[in-house]
């Protein structure tokens, strides 16, 4: 019953560059993340107004996912693509913003629009809403990219028919440093799904 | 596939520092909720289940030096230690550690915190626990909003199925901080009175802090008297909204359906549902709709938020542990705070502690980000 699994496609967003399958699709010239990601969004013609309400982490994860899922000819009704994302800084970028808004009683103005993003898995919700994924989703925190963990978890979901495809990876946003590496696992594809290959692709750019 | 079980467990809460004490209190209809008027936490009164920092520190100093650890770390260590001691499993590379939390040491972001900001990284929390006990494998932190505690059980089961571990210890916890209170209050979701899940006169959420820990194992020789088998589990997203549940209960419906399918059971096989029941109108209504779609409307159901408040990343595990003790004692706990049905579709809320032969129970949870997790458990015949 064990099916051979493959990595069908992968994307990187780091150092002002968006790449798909190792090929640069957008290179920005603004070192500031909000400006960079907005330019990338426009360049990639991602038409989705909710994007502008998202926090930095969700924008990063959403765009990295979109560059892969736009090629998947997805159903408008529903798709069974599980999401397994991970990072180091959780939602700390937005956590610090919320904390600042409650730090002293004179300037006490907590906002629900900020608070909702103080959870790392909100970006999974954003991707699920856009692509109609009523699927498994989990967010893990590690101090570094952990290929073995992602490999085993994706393998488990696919071999037990809990998902048709799995979108895995790392989306980290902390201060103004950011990095996304996502890859899509399914039965079709050229690259064998194993820990070595996942690490090779992660380190490719 | 190898069977997976839940076994030795601990609840560290305002109702007591071990599961037995907590269950005893619940059997006597005692709640851990209290009303607080504490300006340093929230500018208005609120109702919550809190653990006194001094009491936790005193307890911790019996086993180690409390000054080196944050309050949450002390709670998690005290809770996990009891499970490790009871299970007497040697920590080698076949033993995993999962930490379930939504916000971890978020209180170190406060200006007055004596701990460095680096302590707020959840991987640091993982490392602290790993080092304290001497786990040989890296800690896995699950942070998936309010389903984290139930999802952590799924994750443990899946890693055991992949033959990565033989045993996994899960510890879960979150604090009631200024951070969390201000956030929930900005949603106007907090209540200053004890919460009333599913009730017509519901008034909103109470928050709570606990640590809860458990052993997940594939080995039958490590089971205790309340052990249960995991029959099936699933997590599904609503694909609808990041801060509100689906009106049709789509993700919850799908997750329960998938968990029951894996468990090979029908709705009529479920003896008890341990639901999420936060006591917000949207959540409770969504659950009532989903349980009706699943034909679970006649199965006895409760929310335990009236005893512990909403304990965030710990809630799913805490409520699963209570479910295990319910099954062992063949006793359904009342859904505290409930008097009159306040959802549009009928569900069978447990109104008083009731004896009933229990074999199979369903645990569900739903959270921000549109996530829903369901697991079906069965009593073991040890």
Question: How confident is the model over B79-119, as pLDDT tens digits?
Answer: 999 999 999 999 999 999 999 999 999 999 999 999 999 99
Chain A residues close to B121, C-beta within 8 Å: 88-90, 92, 141, 143
- The per-residue pLDDT for B194 is 98
Mutate to test the interface with A, among B117, B123, B170 (most CBs of A within 10 A): B123
Among B103, B91, B72, B371, residue whose Cα is nearest residue B241: B371
CB contact under 8 A, B370 and A129: yes
Q: What is the tens place of the pLDDT at every residue in B325-357?
A: 999 999 999 999 999 999 999 999 999 999 999
Query: Does the beta-carbon distance from B122 to A139 stay under 8 Å?
Result: no
For residue A1, pLDDT beyond 50? no
Q: What are the counts of helices (DSSP H) followed by strands (DSSP E) for chain A? A: 7, 8
Secondary structure of A2-58 as H, E, C letters:
CCCCEEEEEEEEECCEEEECCEEEEECCCCCHHHHHHHHHHHCCCCCHHHHHCCHHH
- pLDDT surpasses 90 at A185: yes
Using the CB atoms, write b or e for B327-353: b if 16+ within 10 Å: bbeebbbbbbbbeebbbeeebbbbeeb
Residues of B with Cβ-Cβ distance to A108 under 8 angstroms: 43, 182
Average of pLDDT values for B218-239?
97
A-contacting residues in B 27-66 (Cβ below 8 Å)? 43
List the beta bridge partners of residue A140.
A86, B142
Q: Cβ contact (<8 Å) for B43 and A108?
A: yes
pLDDT, mean over chain B: 97
Residue boundaries of the structural domains of chain B:
5-222, 228-379
All structural domains of chain A: 6-202 (3.40.47.10)
For residue A2, what pLDDT is reported? 66
Task: Look at chain A and count its residues.
Answer: 205
Closest among B242, B243, B301 to B270, alpha carbons compared? B301
Tens of pLDDT along B154-189?
999 999 999 999 999 999 999 999 999 999 999 999
Contact between A153 and B155 using a beta-carbon 8 Å cutoff = yes
Q: What angle do CA B249, A65, A187 make, to 5 degrees?
A: 90
Q: How confident is the model at residue A8 (pLDDT cuts 50, 70, 90)?
A: very high
Residues 161-220 of B with CB under 8 A from A: 161-162, 164, 178-179, 182-187
**Catalytic site positions of B:** 146, 276, 310
A3 pLDDT band, cuts 50/70/90, is confident
Calpha distance B288→B284 (Å, rounded)? 6
CATH number of B228-379, picked from 3.40.47.10, 3.40.50.720, 1.10.260.40, 3.30.930.10: 3.40.47.10
Going from the C-alpha of B244 to that of each of A23, A58, B188, B251, B370, the distances in angstroms are 38, 17, 13, 12, 7
Mean pLDDT of chain A: 96
Q: Which of residues 62 through 91 in chain A touch B, CB cutoff 8 A?
A: 78, 83, 88-90
Res B236 pLDDT > 70:
yes
| Chain B residues with CB-CB distance to A135 below 8 A | 236-237
Residue from A57, A94, A104, A128 to probe the interface with B (highest B Cβ count within 10 Å): A128
Q: What is the pLDDT of residue A91?
A: 98
A139 touches chain B (CB under 8 A): yes
Mutation pick from A2, A88, A100, A137 vs chain B, by most beta carbons of B within 10 Å, is A137
What is the number of CB-based contacts under 8 A between chain A and chain B? 159
The whole-number pLDDT of residue A104 equals 83
Q: Measured between CA atoms, how close is A32 to chain B, in angstroms?
A: 23
Q: Is the pLDDT of residue A72 over 70?
A: yes
- Residue pLDDT, tens place only, B113-148: 999 999 999 999 999 999 999 999 999 999 999 999
Residue B298: predicted pLDDT: 98
Count of Cβ atoms closer than 10 Å to residue A22 Cβ? 11
Residues 231-260 on B with a CB inside 8 Å of A are 234-243, 250-251, 254, 258
Contact yes or no for B140 and A112 at CB 8 A: no
Could you tell me which residues come within 8 angstroms of residue B114 by beta carbon, excluding any fewer than 6 positions away?
A: none
**CATH topology of B5-222 equal to that of B228-379?**
yes
- Confidence at residue B382, expressed as pLDDT on a 0 to 100 scale: 58
* Chain A residues touching residue B124 (CB < 8 angstroms): 143
Quick: pLDDT tens for B33-66: 999 999 999 999 999 999 999 999 999 999 999 9
Q: CATH assignment of B5-222, given 3.40.50.720, 3.40.50.300, 3.40.30.10, 3.40.47.10?
A: 3.40.47.10
Instruction: Annotate A172-183 with b (16+ C-beta within 10 A) or e (fewer).
Output: bbbeeebbbbbb
Quote the crossing angle between the two packed helices A33-43 and A56-69, to the nearest 10°.
Answer: 20
Strand pairing category for B228-237 and B34-36: unpaired
Q: What is the pLDDT of residue A106?
A: 84
DSSP B163-183: TS-SEEEEEEEE---HHHHHH
Query: Residue B118 and residue B125: Cα distance in Å, rounded?
Result: 10
Residue B271 has pLDDT above 90, yes or no: yes
Whether B199 has a pLDDT exceeding 60, the answer reads: yes
């Amino acid at each position: 019953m064990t099916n051979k699994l493959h990595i069908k496609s992968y994307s990187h967003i780091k150092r002002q560059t968006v790449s798909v399958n190792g090929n640069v699709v957008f290179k920005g010239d603004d070192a500031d993340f909000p400006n960079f990601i907005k330019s990338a969004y426009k360049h990639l013609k991602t038409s989705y107004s909710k994007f502008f309400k998202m926090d930095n982490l969700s924008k990063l994860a959403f765009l990295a996912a979109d560059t892969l899922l736009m090629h998947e000819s997805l159903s408008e009704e529903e798709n069974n693509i599980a999401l397994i994302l991970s990072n180091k800084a959780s939602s700390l970028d937005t956590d610090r913003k919320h904390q600042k808004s409650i730090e002293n009683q004179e300037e006490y103005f907590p906002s629900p629009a900020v608070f909702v993003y103080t959870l790392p898995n909100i970006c999974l919700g954003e991707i699920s809403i856009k692509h109609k994924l009523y699927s498994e989703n989990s967010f893990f925190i590690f101090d570094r990219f952990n290929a073995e963990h992602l490999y085993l978890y994706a393998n488990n979901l696919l071999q037990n028919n809990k998902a048709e495809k799995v979108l895995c990876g790392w989306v980290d946003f902390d201060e103004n440093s950011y990095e996304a590496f996502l890859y899509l696992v399914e039965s079709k594809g050229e690259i064998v799904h194993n820990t070595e290959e996942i690490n090779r692709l992660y380190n490719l750019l | 596939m190898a069977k997976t079980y839940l076994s030795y467990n601990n609840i560290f809460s305002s109702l007591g520092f071990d599961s037995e004490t907590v269950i005893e209190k619940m059997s006597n209809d005692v709640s851990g909720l209290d009303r607080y008027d504490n300006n340093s936490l929230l500018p208005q009164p609120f109702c919550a289940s809190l653990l006194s920092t001094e009491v936790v520190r005193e307890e911790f100093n019996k086993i180690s030096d409390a000054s080196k650890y944050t309050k949450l770390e002390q709670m998690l260590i005290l809770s996990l230690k009891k499970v490790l001691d009871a299970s007497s499993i040697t920590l080698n590379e076949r033993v995993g550690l999962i930490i379930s939390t939504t916000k971890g040491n978020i209180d170190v972001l406060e200006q007055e915190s004596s701990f460095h900001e680096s302590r707020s990284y959840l991987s640091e929390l993982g490392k602290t626990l790993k080092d304290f006990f001497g786990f040989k494998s890296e800690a896995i932190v699950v942070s998936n909003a309010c389903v984290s505690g139930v999802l952590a059980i799924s994750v443990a089961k899946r890693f055991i199925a992949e033959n990565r571990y033989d045993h996994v210890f899960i510890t879960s916890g979150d604090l009631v901080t200024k951070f969390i209170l201000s956030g929930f209050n900005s949603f106007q979701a907090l209540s200053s009175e004890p919460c009333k899940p599913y009730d017509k006169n519901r008034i909103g959420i109470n928050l709570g802090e606990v640590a809860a820990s458990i052993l997940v194992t594939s080995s039958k020789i490590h089971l205790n008297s309340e052990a249960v088998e995991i029959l099936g589990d699933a997590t599904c997203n609503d694909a609808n909204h990041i801060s509100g549940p689906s009106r049709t209960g789509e993700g919850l419906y799908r997750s329960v359906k998938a968990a029951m399918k894996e468990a090979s059971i029908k709705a009529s096989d479920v003896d008890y549902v341990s639901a999420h029941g936060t006591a917000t109108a949207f959540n409770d209504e969504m659950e009532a709709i989903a349980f009706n779609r699943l034909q679970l409307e006649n199965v006895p159901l409760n929310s335990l938020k009236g005893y512990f408040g909403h304990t965030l990343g710990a809630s799913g595990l805490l409520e699963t542990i209570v479910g295990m003790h319910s099954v062992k004692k063949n006793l359904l706990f009342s859904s505290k705070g409930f008097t009159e049905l306040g959802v549009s579709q009928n569900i069978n809320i447990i109104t008083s502690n009731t004896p009933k032969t229990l074999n199979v129970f369903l645990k569900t949870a739903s959270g921000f980000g549109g996530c829903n997790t369901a697991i079906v458990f069965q009593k073991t015949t040890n």
